[in-house]
Amino acid sequence: MMGDDLSQLSMRDLFRIDAESQTLALNAGLLALEQEPRRANHLEACMRAAHSLKGAASIVAIHPGVTVAHAMEDLFVAAQTGDVVLGQSQIDLLLQGVDLLKAIATSPDLESGSQDAAWQAEADRLAAALGQSGAAAGGPQPSAPLPAAIEAHQPEPEPLNRALRVSADNLNRLLDLAGESLVESRRLRPFGQALVRLKRLQRDTAAAIDALHAALPTELLDERARLALAAAQQHMLECRKHLSEQLGELEASDHQATTVAHRLYDQALMVRMRPFADGVTSFPRMVRDLARSLGKQARLEIVGDRTQVDRDILEKLDAPLGHLLRNALDHGVEMPDERIAAGKPPESTIRLEAFHSAGTLQITVSDDGRGIDPERIRQAVIGRGLANSEVAARLSDAELLDFLFLPGFTMKENVTEISGRGVGLDVVQDMIRQVRGLVRVTPQPGGGTRFKLELPLTLSVVRALLVEIGGEPYAFPFAHIVRATKLPKDQVQLLEGRQHFSLDGQQIGLVTAHQVLGCGEPDHGGEELSVVLLGSPNNLYGLVVDRFLGARELVVQRLDPRLGKIKDISAAALMEDGTPLLIVDVEDMIRSMEKLTSADRLANISHKAGGDGAVRRKRILVVDDSFTVRELQRKLLDHHGYEVDVAVDGMDGWNALRSGTFDLVVSDIDMPRMDGIELVTRIRQDARLASLPVMVLSYKDREEDRRRGLEAGADYYLTKGSFQSDALLSGVVDLIGEAVT
């Protein structure tokens, strides 16, 4: 727990802090007792948590808390003495008690006490139910004292580290300063190297004086000249000795400063780390309650709860992990009778595991359910019009699994509170990508499904490949690089007007980083190209850079939010000598390369990345998250003489509009990151773009959707369901006229 100086907190604030930890202990203990109702250590832990809550609530005069905690304590004591065996009904009531205590402790009305009467009524009802439940199960004594054996063996409380509250901003500033000190400590190294070069020059100068002395005949030198030469040689010896001493002291200082800076940074970084358990405490209860609501039996097994995780990453993992667990319960776990018929135990086990491996944080979510049927995915792909039956039949199992991460894709036919609303694994993938991570799904042998998340250990440091592009350093995070290689120029092939090379039997297109970033002429001298492979195994791009600068561990510096989203860039960092560099947003860069590829605007590696035509063609930006729709529109418009750029979603389209000049925008409505309505709204609010014609294409054919699009500022509305090439061309001509050819 991190708190302000505790002397500044009110008594009820202290109760809130105590209740937070005690309700967590009660939740964990009750879930364990559900599996082993007679387990003594679980009973004692729950009894003590309830006893502590009762005492804390009594001190601060929260009487509803005293009532329910006292009733819970009585039931736990009765279970310890053997008068009661906790069954399903008692566990349910005790969990209700935990929920009530948590609601009281976290309520904004706790300090005022305005809800005390309502809470007291609920506490009295629950206490009565707990008492009746205990009596029906064997009659616990209302105020049974602790057994003597337990009283005699109370464990000594472990000393706790003093906790202070530190705001997230202060913690981030501390880490940034520690990172800067790490960079500053490295500045002595090049200075030391300069002194080594100076020492070498001094040694050469001394040798030249000695050679001069030896070359001059003695008879030609008078006494004054001999004394001058001897003095020069003596001074050179003294300079050499002094320089050696100073260089030794500098090297020692450099070593000490670097060591201290590393220790400072490592310690500051550890302050940001929290055990994995801190972020998953609510999941066992969630799995238990959700399974019961579905008529299923399931329990959550957490492995690696002490694994250290960056605080920011842990906070962002709550939503995706919760979604994966709900997904496992709803889609994967079978009903008890179905599991028994399949030779499985009626209760399913869902496993959540966290561990460090090869400098990354690995988190897996696996279940022993029915698994993923590729044929069901294939039929869903066909049924939703994502591919025809002929194309779908050729898709491999790995390619079919990729469809699970598409926006809006779901295997559920019916909408429930849990599934079927089109909010699927794409949300998980987007959130994981926000923290520079990856997510993969693999069917388990013998049934079940396994999701694997690969994440950086911290968001504050990134291991990256440094490259030079246009005379400037750029960093590519290793987590998003498939491979980096040197490619002989004679292996570059020209296929269908585009440059490719072959790697492990796969043809990979080449794109120059200068064209993507728009940063001058490429420098590809020599016989080899430096190529960074980006993308997925089935969709790779080769990005040609000027040269590799090596691997570095960089302290991430956030860009000023006033700059907004910078195309293809995610953050910044400093090199060892203090030189600033930009960290590439690889996902954004892949989208930029896809746009260049689909628009047939790739430049040859050996030629300039562009050229001006004699007459400028009218330029159209097509914004759509469907590759098929984008390609259809691009080819159609390009065939009729228009120059076409494409964007893969609303945010990508907005970035393109801010950096380019267009005569027309053709946009979809339903897209990730930024939908078409917001894109049109931003265009109309921008002074430079306000008059830009916009055509909207949507799958929706309802009058209210058409009105919504036009009210946002669109000039033309066309539905994809009734899409005809003539209708699109007619609309384009109406808005901007015939193409200039």
Residue 80 has pLDDT above 90, yes or no: no
What are the b/e assignments for 446-485, b being 16+ CB within 10 Å? ebbbbbebbbbbbbbbbbbbbbbbbeebbbbbbbbbbebe
Residue 420 has pLDDT above 80, yes or no: no
Residue 336 has pLDDT above 50, yes or no: yes
Distance CA 426, CA 712 (A): 27
Maximum pairwise Cα distance, the chain = 125
Residue 723 has pLDDT above 90, yes or no: no
Strands, sheet with 643-647, edge to edge from the N-terminal-most edge strand: 643-647, 619-623, 664-668, 694-698, 716-719
Q: Helix 11-35 and helix 63-81: axis angle, to 10°?
A: 30
471: left (phi over 0), alpha (psi -120 to 50) or beta: left
More confident residue, 254 or 363: 363
pLDDT, tens digit, for every residue of 466-494?
A: 999 888 899 998 878 888 888 888 888 87
pLDDT, tens digit, for every residue of 611-660?
A: 444 456 788 999 988 777 787 888 888 888 888 888 888 888 898 888 77
Residue 274 has pLDDT above 70, yes or no: yes
Distance CA 382, CA 168 (A): 48
Q: Which two tokens stand for residue 364?
A: 């897996």
Residue 161 has pLDDT above 60, yes or no: no
**The pLDDT of residue 3:** 42
* Positive or negative: CA dihedral 187, 191, 196, 201: positive
Residue 100 has pLDDT above 60, yes or no: yes
Residue 332 has pLDDT above 80, yes or no: yes
Tally Cβ neighbours within 10 Å of residue 637. 22
pLDDT, tens digit, for every residue of 205-256?
A: 888 888 887 777 776 677 787 788 888 888 888 888 888 888 888 888 888 8
For the chain, give the mean pLDDT. 79
Give the residue among 605, 562, 565 at the shortest CA–CA distance from 588.
Answer: 565
**The pLDDT of residue 144:** 37
- The mean per-residue pLDDT over the stretch 339-355 comes to 92
**The pLDDT of residue 603:** 62
Distance CA 651, CA 509 (A): 25
**The pLDDT of residue 699:** 65
